[in-house]
Amino acid sequence: MEKIAYLFPGQGSQAVGMGLEFHQEYDEVREFFDMVDEVCKKRISRLCFSGPMEELTRTAICQPAVAAASLAALVAIQKAGGPPPDFAAGHSLGEYAALCAAGALDREATMRLVRRRGELMHADAVAHSGVMYAIVGLSIDEVRDLVSGVEGRVAVANHNTPTQVVISGTAQAVEKAAQLAKKAGAREIPLAVSGPWHSELMARAAKEFASYLDHHYTLEKPSIPVVPNVTATPETDPAVLAECLKKQITSPVLWVDSIRALREAGVDTFVEVGPRRVLTGLVKKILGKDDSKLFSVGDMKGLEAWISAST
């Protein structure tokens, strides 16, 4: 019997129109977006459906918007009778939707946490400006060695594929590391982000978010294992999952290890639940010539294609 993992995307997967088709199709999705707008005190639904993209890309808006679009897709899957997952994982921000899919958080709690996370990360980015670069063509060990030799604040932020590693930190240190990567034969690509995510420059946001989580929410035991970015190990202990959320803001996203862990656990069907087709592309590069099945459910066409293939 196949094992299914639901994968939820993070910041950077936003697109104007996300969630609109599900909103038009399902009453429960409309009710969900009404709740999102109320929780966020802003018409997140309108921004998801109509943009503008400039507003949708702002961190404090982008994070709840992407989470809302992902959870809208999850609701649509459930209403359409899609096969439930055996595992869940999310890329950075997507980990919150993964926890919701697993039953560790309800939808409202997920949106409140994501809203607060986005606000705190935006504030820290304003206070501690920085940049991120994708390094393409070097292994994770090569990038780690390269970064360790650079003075200043720069660190590995995302291990997205075997040869795509994102670094984050102050502009001077990151750009120095990027130039060293270029000399080593890699491509260095500046990313259009508004802050140095997953670096120690986000320490204040991480500390304040941890306090907010501790004082307002308790994770429930999930019904299926969730793979946190911080450990890349399937986990069902809610206390461990909560600690991972606190560390995640400053820790690297171990996406390669997460996908490999899911494959080793027997997962042979990966379903990206959310806007665009970002994670399926990363999975394909991680697993290479593998017989795993990949689906993307971000609109009605994607939902219908997966449901059809599953029956």
* Residue-wise DSSP of 273-301: ESSSSSHHHHHHHHH-S---EEEEESSHH
Q: Is the pLDDT of residue 9 over 80?
A: yes
Residue 113 in contact with residue 217, Cβ under 8 Å? yes
Task: Over range 257-284, report the average pLDDT.
Answer: 96
Residue type, 166: V
pLDDT in tens, 130-146: 999 999 999 999 999 99
pLDDT band with cut points at 50, 70 and 90 for residue 311 = confident
Please measure the distance between the N-terminal and C-terminal CA atoms of the chain and give it in whole angstroms.
Answer: 13
Catalytic residue among 13, 92, 168, 194: 92
Residue 253 has what DSSP assignment? B
pLDDT band with cut points at 50, 70 and 90 for residue 289 = confident
Residue 156 in contact with residue 253, Cβ under 8 Å? no
Which CATH topology does 130-190 take? Alpha-Beta Plaits (3.30.70)
DSSP string over 3-31: -EEEEE--TT---TTTTHHHHHH-HHHHH
122 catalytic residue (yes or no): no
In the chain, ranges of CATH 3.40.366.10 domains: 4-126+200-310
Q: Is the pLDDT of residue 1 over 80?
A: no
**Alpha-carbon distance 24 to 217, whole Å?**
32
Q: Is the pLDDT of residue 80 over 90?
A: yes
In the chain, ranges of CATH 3.30.70.250 domains: 130-190
Mean pLDDT of the chain: 96
pLDDT band with cut points at 50, 70 and 90 for residue 307 = very high
Q: Is the pLDDT of residue 290 over 90?
A: no
What was the pLDDT predicted at 247? 97
DSSP string over 62-114: HHHHHHHHHHHHHHHHHHHTPPPPSEEEESTTHHHHHHHHTTSS-HHHHHHHH
The more confidently predicted of residues 260 and 192 is 260
Task: Over range 217-231, report the average pLDDT.
Answer: 98
Q: Is the pLDDT of residue 241 over 90?
A: yes
**Alpha-carbon distance 231 to 147, whole Å?**
21
**Alpha-carbon distance 271 to 293, whole Å?**
8
Percent of the chain with pLDDT over 90: 95
Query: Taking the CA atoms of the chain, what radius of gyration do you get in angstroms?
Result: 18
Does the global pTM surpass 0.75? yes
SS3 state at 272:
strand
Which CATH topology does 4-126+200-310 take? Malonyl-Coenzyme A Acyl Carrier Protein; domain 2 (3.40.366)
What was the pLDDT predicted at 210? 98
Give the neighbor-by-neighbor strand order of the sheet with 293-297.
Answer: 226-227, 87-90, 4-8, 269-273, 293-297
What was the pLDDT predicted at 310? 87
Q: Is the pLDDT of residue 193 over 90?
A: no
At residue 184, what are phi and psi to the nearest 5 degrees? Answer: -85, 0
Catalytic residue among 23, 91, 128, 198: 198
Residue with tokens 């420059």: 201
Strands 154-161 and 164-169 come out as antiparallel
The 10 Å CB-count burial string (b at 16+, else e) for 153-184 is bbbbbbbbbebbbbbbbbeebbbbbbebbeee
DSSP string over 110-171: HHHHHHHHHHHHHHHHHHS--EEEEEESS-HHHHHHHHHTSSSSEEEEEEEETTEEEEEE-H
The more confidently predicted of residues 212 and 290 is 212
92 catalytic residue (yes or no): yes
**Alpha-carbon distance 45 to 85, whole Å?**
26
pLDDT in tens, 20-65: 999 999 999 999 999 999 999 999 999 999 999 999 999 999 999 9
